[in-house]
A and B are shown apart, each in its own frame.
Chain A
């Protein structure tokens, strides 16, 4: 069963706008990761946030984690057409934080 659920399922924005995707999960975690997947390709790791962290930045990406609400958000600022992809959150499912369950993803379309 899937631990994480992304919201919205699909998002369409104009280039230059910010995109926010949310992930909710059910059980306690050690860490949460976000991945990106271009159509027909493998997944690429974007960022990891640990359960004792509340916010993390990487370039145009900002991830927040609220363990009390069991939720995370991914913000992409100043979006570009090249950001068009599916975005997945992955939560760990073992005590070592090394095996992950993926949500169904958010399909982001950035229009030029």
Chain B
């Protein structure tokens, strides 16, 4: 069975600072990995996805993530935080042999002026 672990339930950064949200995965078969964002009182929105092509994946709103098999990680980064980035971020995993998308416990990103 596959799973993801998000380290840090809360991350706070200043506007303009680097954003780093951590995600480690566990999967016995090649994983497909995703980052989703949830703004207050809204549904989740796909930020980016890794599906065994390029290991560095670029997403919307300036976010990117790098798949590192040796570290079983898929951390999300953004060079410069904006106030509008404040939200809950979820890492998720699935594989070729299931339709089930498993979510991590989420990381709340706060951005201070």
User: Do A and B assemble together?
Assistant: no
